[in-house]
Structure 1
Amino acid sequence: MNVGSEESRLVVIRGNSASGKSSVAAGLRDRCGRGLARVGQDNLRRVVLRERDRPGASNIGLIDTVARYALDAGYHVVVEGILYADGYGEMLETLASEHRGISRHYYLDVPFPETLVRHAAKQDAEYLAHVTERELRDWYRELDLLSGGVETVIPAASSLNETVDHVMRATGLDRLPPRDLDPSCPLAS
């Protein structure tokens, strides 16, 4: 079933914990403004469903459904999360193959020692207290790439601004006007 339009953009950002996925998604949103939907695995899995990450979990379908809904509603979409290839790969590949517009996949490749440094710099004290080096080691998968070579690997040396610039250019988001989907909405301000 086709989804979105020829003008819509689908961006998938994957990588290990503390690799910068959420920061890149936020950077894209800052540059694009309204009209770009952030579909975060952590939000849907941990907050909405309060579900553990396991094969066949409900959040996989929810991520797919939210992304499709937003694309069909006229939004560009960035899906971001660890999104392990063996659990989420089929859904991500099907979503991209059925998307009418431009779809791009990115993998943020951050070595484990740098993961620890970035994790320690997080501002959320409660999260830092619950997620230790042990959890980070358990979750870490080196170059957990999707099949078919569809992902552009972004090295740890790429700064946040460089990464956002690259994604904006490669997807054409830098050449699209901001979207004002419904100016009559009282929440549009």
Structure 2
Amino acid sequence: MSTSCHPGAGAPVGHAESRLVVVRGNSASGKSSVAAGIRERFGRGLAVVAQDNLRRIVLRERDRPGGANIGLIDTVARYALDAGYHVVIEGILYADHYGEMLTRLVDDHLGVTRCYYLNIPIDETLVRHASKADREYLAAVTERELRDWYREHDVLPGGIETVIGSDSTLRNTVDRIMRDSALSALPACDN
């Protein structure tokens, strides 16, 4: 998708004190739990931009190259950063579909940016998926879908991501991101 489809692309976004965190990984790798943990720890003033919400709920779109959700994720993240929020973007966010947009956003962000890839083996992915409480989701998303969607070590080009393995607990992962991004040193906002 060209830059012209994203009016803010290429323009500086956020400010020197804003934080942008990107958390990517396969289905059931813990991305949503990590984002929720960061928000809970930080408090108000942190926006969670969830790929599943924008793609599946807002647009009801399939994940495909050039999908409208790519621009929507970019736009929402930029808007929140410019409105004074820190931002966590989370989702599967396949490198070949979302890499260009994410790299451009990282380059344009004026503050501290940290990107993470949760590298969870397929066998652990299946175990984690089976432990989800949402029975309707479990019935709709089977082992076959998980295996079809799974991409081993789907990191963004340029080495901009820190890879976190399955040996890192949820608490340790949230602690690390809070520390790396310096969100732990900032006060919550009253947005």
Normalising by the smaller structure, the TM-score range is over 0.9
Q: Which runs of 5+ in 2 are unaligned?
A: 1-10
Q: Unaligned stretches of 5+ in structure 1?
A: 182-189
Q: 1:121 aligns with which of 123, 131, 137?
A: 131
C-alpha separation between the residues in 1 aligned to 2:69 and 2:136? Answer: 23
Q: Name the structure 2 match of 1:88.
A: 98
Q: Which amino acid aligns with 2:59?
A: L
d(CA) in 2 for partners of 1:177 and 1:119?
34
Q: 1:169, CA displacement in angstroms?
A: 0.3
Offset of residue 59 of structure 1: 0.1
- Normalization by structure 1: what TM-score? 0.95
Match of 2:187 in 1: 177
Determine helix, strand or coil for the equivalent of 1:19: coil
- What secondary structure, in the 3-state scheme, does the structure 1 residue paired with 2:20 have? strand
Structure 1 position 8 matched with structure 2 position 18: yes
- Cα deviation, 1:12-68, whole Å, max 9, x if unaligned, reads 000000000000000000001100000000000000000000000000000000000
C-alpha distance after superposition, 1:91-148 (max 9, x if no partner): 0000010000001100001000000000000011110000000000000000000000
Q: What amino acid sits opposite 1:27 in the alignment?
A: G
**What letter corresponds to residue 121 of structure 1 in structure 2?**
S
Cα distance in 2 between the residues matched to 1:159 and 1:128: 23
| Deviation of the 1:178 alpha carbon | 1.0
Q: Name the Cα RMSD after superposition.
A: 0.4
Structure 2 match to 1:187: none
In the other structure, the counterpart of 2:7 is none
Match of 1:167 in 2: 177
Match of 2:72 in 1: 62
TM-score scaled by length of structure 2: 0.94
Distance in 1, Cα, partners of 2:94 & 2:134: 24
Partner amino acid, structure 2, of 1:137: R
| Identity fraction in percent | 71
- Which residue identity does 2:35 align to in structure 1? A
What are the equivalent positions in structure 2 for 1:25-174 lying under 5 Å apart?
25-174=35-184
Letter of the 1:153 counterpart: V
How far apart, CA to CA, are the structure 1 residues paired with 2:146 and 2:118? 16
Question: Could you tell me how far apart the structure 1 residues matched to 2:187 and 2:24 are?
Answer: 26
Moved over 6 A (4+): none
Quote the Cα distance in structure 1 between the aligned partners of 2:92 and 2:187. 30
